[in-house]
Amino acid sequence: MPAQSKIYGDLGSATAPIGQVPQGIGFPIAEIETTPTGSFNPTTDMVIDRLLDGVSPTSPQQPAGVGVANQIQITFGAGANTGADPVMLSAAGVLTINETGTYRIKIAMQFGRTGASGTSVLLFRVLVNGTQAGRSIEYKLNSANETSYFENDTWITLPAGTVLTFQLMRDASGSNFGGLFGFDPTVEAGSWNSTPSAALRVERWITTP
């Protein structure tokens, strides 16, 4: 990248700014600077701005039955932020983008089933303004007591007013068992944190304050 040159001098007056006054008449020109200045360094001039963390309690989130009629909207705790923030999350699991920008949206779910028989088929999807975006995610569970983990981490540019929701369904081709499950470790004095049934994190890059 070539060096950038800057010419320094008096700013002049309101009626005779430097750009309109010939060189050397009352406004001496300073030295020319050849060292680049004002360059952007992404390793030091940017930081991650964490906008919200939504964490569900350990209680299960399960459909009442199979098929579309019993699909559920995944929730992420009590909600966070307001309309004055870049993004906000409701207790019903609705993520609203209040400020146009590029965001990192990370969702994690711990799913499984207990005391079940047959093979369960669980489906996950994301809706943008009420319409499915992208593919569905499918998992088959055939153990009576089984848990697994799914995580999706995406950078995406979204306009203000965008609404995102996340859904879970038991497909009708499988058994009527399965959902999201958290867990509280059985240890002394809470020395291990609990595992939520679902968690949502939203971040973005900003310039260093």
Confidence of residue 53 (pLDDT cuts 50, 70, 90): very high
Q: How far apart, in Å, are the Cα atoms of 76 and each of 15, 23, 24, 147?
A: 60, 65, 67, 19
Percent of the chain's residues with pLDDT above 90: 68
DSSP-derived secondary structure letter, 2? P
Paired with 120 in beta bridges are 141
CA–CA dist 77, 124 (Å, integer) = 18
**pLDDT single digits (tens) 13-28:** 455 444 444 455 555 5
pLDDT given for residue 6 in this prediction: 47
**pLDDT single digits (tens) 60-115:** 999 999 999 999 999 999 999 999 999 999 999 999 999 999 999 999 999 999 99
**pLDDT single digits (tens) 21-49:** 445 555 555 554 555 556 777 778 888 89
* 7 and 84, same domain (yes or no): no
* 125 and 151, same domain (yes or no): yes
**100 touches 138 (CB < 8 A):** no
pLDDT given for residue 28 in this prediction: 53
Q: Which of 70, 66, 95 is nearest to 80 (CA)?
A: 95
Domain carrying residue 22: 1-39
pLDDT given for residue 18 in this prediction: 47
192 or 90, which is more confident? 90
* 29 and 93, same domain (yes or no): no
* 27 and 123, same domain (yes or no): no
pLDDT given for residue 37 in this prediction: 58
Count of structural domains, the chain:
2
* 71 and 94, same domain (yes or no): yes
CA–CA dist 51, 98 (Å, integer) = 12
* 30 and 64, same domain (yes or no): no
* 22 and 81, same domain (yes or no): no
* 16 and 67, same domain (yes or no): no
* 184 and 156, same domain (yes or no): yes
CA–CA dist 140, 178 (Å, integer) = 10
Task: Note the pTM of the prediction, 2 decimals.
Answer: 0.78
Is the C-alpha dihedral spanning 116, 140, 148, 153 positive or negative?
Answer: negative
Is the C-alpha dihedral spanning 14, 17, 22, 28 positive or negative?
Answer: positive
* 53 and 113, same domain (yes or no): yes
Percent of the chain's residues with pLDDT above 70: 81
* 12 and 84, same domain (yes or no): no
pLDDT at 3 over 50: no
Q: Which CATH number covers residue 158?
A: 2.60.120.40
Query: Mean pLDDT for the chain?
Result: 86
* 113 and 145, same domain (yes or no): yes
